[in-house]
Amino acid sequence: MSNSNQKSGGAPSTGHSWDGIEELTNPVPRWWIWSFYFTVVICIIYWIIYPAWPVGKSYTTGTFNDITYNVVNKETGEATEVTTHWNTRALLMADMQRGKEALKQKAYMDEVSKASFNEILEDPEKMAFARSLAKGIYGDNCAACHGTGGTGVVGLFPNLADDDWLWGGKVEQIQATIEQGRHGYMPDFKNSFNAEQLDAVTEYVLSLSGHSMDKKKVASGKRIFNGQQGGCYYCHTTKATGMVAVGSANLTDSIWTVADVQGAASLEAKKAAVKTVIADGVSRKMPAWSERLSANDIKLLTVFVHELGGGK
């Protein structure tokens, strides 16, 4: 401020001088001093209303600034009001129970928690709510495996956006999948088959989905598939359409979840992909979510996933 420089021209020098520029002993500007005093006053007000000073093994808790929230007793379900001094944890409780956004969401949540799946699916407003909320929950918890659009990763995590389900596509089945998790397990057949047998079974499996394969090998592969040695029918059924109870894949459609047949360029590559799965087996785990997510969250997710897959 050139102005104050001139006014204070007469102040004594500190004796510091650099290249002819001299440092004077002017006092700091008055507005600055007053702002400083003001912050001191604010500080004292702060001490009064917020937890501030340690006293022995405790601390001053502040006053005029209490927070009230409800605590629901686990056993009786009864809500009691609790009032406590200001602190961020109580603030969170109050925000979850009384915050503007929380209340807005709760109104919908209460309706959803009362409604049956059919009522949600048929009500456009509830569906819109389910979509918007579940999208976030899905993004935070499921997208890392199943992908943001639900398309999954072939071999690792199944596609949820197609109409093909390992564990069933009815809402109740999807709900059970999310709540309890799933373990997709198929034993490895490395030591059960010789190269010729493995080749035959592979030919048979690919023939099921409309690939034209060697007739003789297919016939012998079918025998292995449905016989004691392979025992594939035990999980995949004799029609090879899969079984919801064990989450085995339908081998007769063109959708592949473990073996990357779609991605294979040639018939040889397709055979190699299927062979690897049969030889090495499968063990894939879908985590259980009933402890991490609330019942309502899972309900909304179920509807969301059901819709992703086209809704069966």
Partner 1 sequence: MKHDKIEKNLGLLMLFTMVVISIGGLVEIVPLFHINDTIEKVEGVRPYTPLELRGRDLYQREGCYLCHSQMIRPFRDEALRYGHYSLAAESKYDHPFQWGSKRTGPDLARVGEKYSNEWQVQHLVAPRSVVPESIMPNYPWLLKNDLAFADIADRLRALKKVGVPYSESKAEYEANVKEFGAEVAEMLDIQKAQENLIKQAQSGNYDGDANRITEMEAMVAYLQMLGTLVDFSQYDEGHFVQFR
Q: Decide: is 167 part of the binding site for ligand HEC (CB under 6 A).
A: yes
Q: Decide: is 125 part of the binding site for partner 1 (CB under 8 A).
A: no
CA 151 to chain centre: 15
Q: How far is the CB of 113 from ligand HEC (least distance, A)?
A: 18
**Contact by Cβ (8 Å): 241, 252:** yes
Q: Which of 130, 132, 99 lies closest to 113, judged by CA?
A: 130
Q: Which does 269 bind (CB under 5 to 8 A by kind): ligand HEC, partner 1, none?
A: none
Which residues in the 55-94 window bind partner 1 by CB under 8 A?
56-59, 69, 71-74, 82, 84, 87-93
Length of the chain: 312
Q: Decide: is 289 part of the binding site for ligand HEC (CB under 6 A).
A: yes
Q: Decide: is 232 part of the binding site for ligand HEC (CB under 6 A).
A: yes
Spatial distance between the Cα atoms of 53 and 66, rounded to a whole number of angstroms:
17
Instruction: Find all residues with CB under 8 Å of 85, minimum gap 6, and list them.
Output: 51, 61, 62, 63, 65, 66, 67
CA neighbours within 13 Å on the CB side: how many for 79? 5
**Stretch binding partner 1 (CB under 8 A), from 165-173, 205-213, 214-222, 281-289:** 281-289
**Contact by Cβ (8 Å): 221, 215:** no
Q: Which does 166 bind (CB under 5 to 8 A by kind): partner 1, ligand HEC, none?
A: ligand HEC
Q: Decide: is 98 part of the binding site for ligand HEC (CB under 6 A).
A: no
Spatial distance between the Cα atoms of 143 and 150, rounded to a whole number of angstroms:
7
Q: Which of 194, 201, 190 lies closest to 279, judged by CA?
A: 190
Point out which residues bind ligand HEC (CB under 6 A). 141-142, 144-146, 157-158, 160, 165-167, 174, 177-178, 182, 184-187, 189, 201, 205, 225, 230-232, 234-236, 246-249, 251, 256-259, 274, 277-278, 282, 284-287, 289, 301, 305
Provide the binding-site residues for partner 1, judged by CB under 8 A.
14, 54, 56-59, 69, 71-74, 82, 84, 87-93, 95-96, 99, 101-102, 136, 140-141, 143-145, 147-148, 153, 156-157, 284-287, 291-292
